[in-house]
Structure 1
């Protein structure tokens, strides 16, 4: 079950990643492939951004409404204007 990499650039990139991560070539290839599969199989970038925005909306909605009117007059009052 061996792979033979014939592309010198691919070989260079895999060896560089293995050297930086301190892993074997096999572990490096496995981790890189698993990460790519997770990226492909996971939610799309748009879905991730929408989920992040929804989390922010939910956080803001969880705060109580004070009934305060925040307008120009309010900000002017902060500056004694």
Structure 2
């Protein structure tokens, strides 16, 4: 078993204050906060499921038909109202 020693006084005081308000131990406060932080960082759905969701979104929102326009510098200059070089 490995111990966690909080060397920063402000952090230790915050943990103690929160533990007292919640009626739990400092260990529970730290554990719950770490679990919450970990859950926020971890994806809630597996990667394969995310790919499937993206494929479904792409099917529901297809790209428009090609216009045949060339998207080069002259095209974007015209969009911005600039004179061609």
What TM-score range do you get, normalising by the shorter chain?
0.3 to 0.5
Tell which structure's C-alpha radius of gyration is larger. 2
Q: TM-score, normalised by structure 2?
A: 0.45
Structure in which a larger fraction of residues adopt helix: 1
